[in-house]
């Protein structure tokens, strides 16, 4: 079953780096209660604390595993009085993820959620169940065969009316008569 927990960390001048790494370590003192559980970190927002210095640029960087290897890139530029918060939608399925305040003294708060599942395949199973529920009531979709014949006839009749030539081929006025006579000659 999937579980979701609030994730939050604060970076400032004293503590400018934080690592999210839920993987169990070989250290016996580490009591990771979620051993054997797949985890995913989703970051939703970065914001300055109210005690941030006005006019000071704060640059938040993330280092994580990308498709072709490790990626180290800034994800937020925050300045009190200009941009004090930014909405993010970042997903990190592979730990470790390192957040670093590479410029400024903060504090910068990073907010998101930690998604836990016994197996990530469980999410696919949940999607499959939703599809089954959508197709559960097929009885209402069945139609009487006689009704289908009637529906098929109606569009054909409309097509014939639209495509049929006008019954009256006579021109509406004398000018049209003269034009048609000239074309014949």
Per-residue model confidence (pLDDT) at position 127: 54
Q: Which domain holds residue 102?
A: 2-23+35-117
Total number of domains in the chain: 1
| pTM beyond 0.75 | no
106 within some domain: yes
User: Is there a domain that residue 172 lies in?
Assistant: no
Please report the pLDDT score of residue 185 as a whole number: 53
Q: Are 11 and 49 in contact (CB under 8 A)?
A: no
Residue 7 lies in a domain: yes
Taking a C-beta distance cutoff of 8 angstroms, is the pair 47, 108 a contact? yes
C-alpha separations of 93 from 7, 68, 111, 151 in Å: 14, 14, 16, 52
CATH code of 54's domain = 2.60.120.340
Domain assignment of residue 160, yes or no: no
Kindly state the DSSP code that residue 104 receives in the 8-state scheme.
S
156, part of any domain: no
Is the residue at 14 inside a domain?
yes
- Specify if 66 maps to a domain: yes
Burial of 79 (0-12, 13-18, 19+ CB in 10 A): middle
Q: What is the full per-residue pLDDT of the chain (185 aa) written as tens digits?
A: 678 999 999 999 889 999 999 876 555 444 445 455 689 999 999 999 999 999 999 999 999 999 899 999 999 999 999 999 999 999 999 899 999 999 999 999 999 999 987 654 545 555 555 555 555 555 555 555 555 555 555 555 444 445 555 555 555 555 665 666 665 65
Backbone phi and psi for residue 73, each to the nearest 5 degrees, phi listed first: -150, 145
Sheet (strand 108-117) strand order: 3-11, 108-117, 38-48, 85-92
Domain assignment present for residue 162? The answer is no
Cα dist from 57 to 48, 50, 54, 105, whole Å: 10, 14, 9, 9
């Amino acid at each position: 079953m999937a579980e979701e927990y609030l994730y939050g960390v604060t970076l400032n001048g004293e503590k400018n780096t934080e690592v999210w790494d839920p993987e169990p370590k070989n250290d016996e003192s580490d009591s990771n209660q979620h051993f054997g559980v797949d985890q995913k970190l989703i970051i939703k927002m970065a914001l300055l604390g109210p005690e941030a210095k006005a006019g000071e640029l704060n640059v938040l960087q993330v280092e994580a595993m990308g498709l072709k290897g490790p990626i180290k890139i800034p994800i937020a530029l925050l300045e009190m009085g200009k941009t004090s918060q930014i909405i993010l939608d970042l997903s990190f399925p592979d730990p470790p993820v390192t957040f670093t305040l590479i410029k400024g003294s903060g504090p910068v708060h990073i907010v998101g959620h930690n998604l836990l599942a016994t197996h990530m395949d469980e999410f696919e199973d949940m999607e499959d169940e939703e599809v089954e529920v959508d197709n559960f009531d097929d009885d209402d979709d069945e139609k009487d065969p006689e009704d289908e014949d009637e529906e098929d006839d109606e569009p054909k009749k409309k097509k014939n009316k639209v495509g049929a030539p006008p019954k009256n081929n006579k021109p509406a006025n004398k000018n049209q008569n003269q034009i048609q006579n000239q074309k014949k000659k």
